[in-house]
Structure formats: structure tokens, C-alpha cells
Amino acid sequence: MEKMRGIKAYLQQSGLLIFILIMVGVLALLSDRFLTPANLINILRQASINGIISVGMMLVILTAGIDLSVGAILALSVVVTADLMHRDLPPLLAATAGLSLGGLLGFVNGWLVSRIKVPPFIATLGMMSFARGLALAYTGGKPVTGLDAGFRFLGTGLVAHIPMPIIIAALVFLAGYLLLSQTRIGAYLYALGENREAALFSGIATGFYTKFVFTASGVLAALSGMILIARLDSAQPVIGLGYEFDAIAAVVIGGTSLAGGEGRLSGTLLGVLIIAMLNNALNLTNVSSFYEGIVKGMVIALALILHGLVRKL
């Protein structure tokens, strides 16, 4: 009996890993460039942008929320940061301002949800439109290009041959892992998502932690935006369009329940990798961009179905 449960738990844990291995196999057959070291590094670098956002998204979803505004918050934060640098503000200050702005907008989301009791979907849908509009208005729709060389190290630099984006994403995942599995904040977040009322009756400051997760999501969206513009050397107001889709997909593929209270960060990591591999493969195999969305939607559905099947075992 115990042994059966062990095997079942193992399969549930590794279902995604098996899916990834199958995917790697198929992609290696489809394109001989796929398994090259350069391409694998490339995948990881691309994954790091969505990965950082997904950690924040996971915190929100774990508390039974959702954050649709990450792409828009990212855009507003980066155009402000880029513009401040153009106005000769030191890069560090400009970046701090951008991150704070992301945090502030996230905090507003959390405040709307916890205090005004606006459903997360609506609150962040509004923020998505508001922040995107502000980014467009602020720049007049024009990109801000040519960034400080030191700042660009965030996106293009290497430390011990490892690209900076990968290092930063790894640190964010490590922090997320420690937060969720080793601290009491993590325990509170799971409790909050599992049963908000019981969490309240247990003396957990539910309002505070709701604001906390949305603020974290905003800051992380802004952070991943910094890395993105550092690589692109340009901050456009339309940057990060649709990023909420990839982040939510990664979290959900990773097995986090949209109802809250259930999920592991390792699952989210695997979800992020699946999405990145998929984006990469669509590029390598020259799938027409018209078909990209179709293939992506189908693969995500397939991953979820497999996940569901393994769960039912």
C-alpha cells in the first residue's frame, strides 16, 4: 500500500520530466541544431525571462489569485527606466526606480484585491490596460533605444561563461524555493490559497500576504524587463505583450492548482523549460509564425492532459 503510493507520487512528480525528455528526443530528430551547446544555452537564456516572471506568477496563483498585468507592468517599468537613463540618471538608480514602480503597481493590484475585494482577474485586467496605456502615453509610442553599456551587462554579460540572465533567473528560483519551502511565509501562502477563511482564523495577516504576492509579482516582472531591454538595447512600450500567457501556462503546466494552495516551484521550473523549448523549436524548424500559436496551444494542452492522466493513476 505504502509502496504503491510511493510509486504513484514518483510518477506524478516525474510526469513532466518524462514529457520533457520525449520533447527533447523529438526535437533532436527534427533539427540537428537543437542539441548543440550553443542552442541549449540559448534556450536557457530565453527561459530566464519567462522564468523570473513565472516565479512571481506562481506566488500569486498559489494564493488563488492571478496576475494578468505582468506584461504591461514590465513595459511601463522598462520604458521609465530607459528614459531615466537617457536623462543621465545613474543606471543603478534608474533600475531601482523601475523595480520600485513595478512593485508599486503590483501593490496596487494587491490592495485592490485584499482591501476593495476586487476579484484578482478584474483588478489585474484593469492594471494591464492602465499600465500599458501609461507606457504608450509616456513614450508617445516610440521606443527608447541606446542604453548605458554598464546596464547592458545585465542582459549580455557573462560570469564564468554563464550568461547573466541565467544567473539572475537561477537566483530568483533559489530565493523562491527557499521562500516557499523553508520559511513561514511560504507556509502562510499555501494556507492562504488553501482556505482564506481558516487562514484568517489562524491569525495569518491575509491582507498583508495578498499585497505581498502581487508586489513580488510586479517587482519580478520589472526585473525580467530590465534584463530583456539590456539584451535588446531598446525599451519599447509594446514590449512584453502576451507575457502573462507564457507565465500562467508555465505555472499551470507545472502542476500548480489555479484554485490555490497546491503546487511546487520545481514544477514551475519544468513548465518554464517546456515553454522555452517549444518557442525555440518553432524558430529552429521554421514554422510559419501564423502556425506558432496553434502548435503552442496544442503542446500545452498535451502536457496538461498527460499531467492529468498521471495524476489519476
Partner 1 sequence: MAIGPCILRMEGITKRFPGVKALDEVRFDLCAGEIHALAGENGAGKSTLMKILSGEYQADGGTIHLKDNPVEIANPQTAQTLGIAIINQELALIPYLSVAENIFLGREPVKQVPRFVDWQKLNQDAAEYLQRLKLDFGPQTLVEDLSIAQQQMVEVAKALSLDAQILIMDEPTSALTEKESEILFDLMAELKARGIAVVYISHRMEEIQRLADRVTVFRDGRYVATSEIADITIEGIIQQMVGRKLQAHTPVTAIQATETALKLVDLTVHRHGIEALNLSLGKGEVLGIAGLVGAGRSELARSIFGVDPIDSGDIFVDGRKVRIQSPKDAIAAGIGLVPENRKEQGLLLKMAVGENITINILKRISRFLFLNKRKAMDIAQTYIEKLKVKTPGAMEKTINLSGGNQQKIVIAKWLTMHPQVMILDEPTRGIDIGAKNEIYALIRELAGSGMGILIISSELPEILRLCNRIAVMSQRKITAILSREDATQERIMTYATGG
In the complex, the smallest distance separating the C-beta of residue 118 from partner 1, rounded to whole angstroms, is 19
Judged by CB under 8 A, which stretch of 26-34, 41-49, 130-138, 188-196 contacts partner 1? 188-196
In the complex, the smallest distance separating the C-beta of residue 248 from partner 1, rounded to whole angstroms, is 22
Rounded CA-CA distance 98/92 in Å is 10
Question: Which position has the grid cell 506566488?
Answer: 59
Report if residue 183 touches partner 1, rule: CB under 8 A.
yes
In the complex, the smallest distance separating the C-beta of residue 135 from partner 1, rounded to whole angstroms, is 34
In the complex, the smallest distance separating the C-beta of residue 189 from partner 1, rounded to whole angstroms, is 12
Give me the helix-helix angle, 149-156 and 206-232, nearest 10°: 100
**Distances, alpha carbon 59 to alpha carbons 74, 91, 256, 258, 272, in Å:** 17, 29, 10, 11, 15
Rounded CA-CA distance 57/216 in Å is 9
Burial (0-12, 13-18, 19+ Cβ within 10 Å), 235 = buried
Q: Which of 196, 39, 30 is nearest to 113 (CA)?
A: 196
In the complex, the smallest distance separating the C-beta of residue 305 from partner 1, rounded to whole angstroms, is 23
Report if residue 161 touches partner 1, rule: CB under 8 A.
no
- Of 145, 184, 285, 298, the residue at the interface with partner 1 (CB under 8 A) is 184
Question: Which residues, including other chains, have CB under 8 Å from residue 257's CB and lie 6 or more apart?
Answer: 61, 193, 263
Report if residue 5 touches partner 1, rule: CB under 8 A.
yes
**Cell representation of residue 59:** 506566488
Contact string (CB under 8 A) for partner 1, positions 253-272, x = contact = --------xx----------
User: Based on CB atoms, which residue is closest to partner 1, 129 or 202?
Assistant: 202
**Cell representation of residue 227:** 534584463
- Of 14, 31, 156, 195, the residue at the interface with partner 1 (CB under 8 A) is 195
- Of 58, 113, 147, 191, the residue at the interface with partner 1 (CB under 8 A) is 191
User: Based on CB atoms, which residue is closest to partner 1, 9 or 35?
Assistant: 9
User: Based on CB atoms, which residue is closest to partner 1, 81 or 206?
Assistant: 206
Judged by CB under 8 A, which stretch of 93-101, 182-190, 247-255, 286-294 contacts partner 1? 182-190
Q: Which of 279, 211, 214, 265 is nearest to 73 (CA)?
A: 214
Q: Which of 94, 76, 103 is nearest to 236 (CA)?
A: 76
In the complex, the smallest distance separating the C-beta of residue 197 from partner 1, rounded to whole angstroms, is 5
Size of the site for partner 1 (CB under 8 A): 25
Report if residue 194 touches partner 1, rule: CB under 8 A.
yes
Rounded CA-CA distance 68/128 in Å is 6
User: Based on CB atoms, which residue is closest to partner 1, 200 or 306?
Assistant: 200
Helix H or strand E encompassing 300: helix 289-312
Q: Which of residues 196-255 bind partner 1 (CB under 8 A)?
A: 197-205
Question: Which position has the grid cell 512593485?
Answer: 103
User: Based on CB atoms, which residue is closest to partner 1, 145 or 182?
Assistant: 182
In the complex, the smallest distance separating the C-beta of residue 76 from partner 1, rounded to whole angstroms, is 30
Report if residue 190 touches partner 1, rule: CB under 8 A.
yes
Rounded CA-CA distance 244/231 in Å is 20
Tell me which DSSP letter residue 36 carries.
S
Point out which residues bind partner 1 (CB under 8 A). 1, 5, 178, 182-188, 190-191, 194-195, 197-205, 261-262
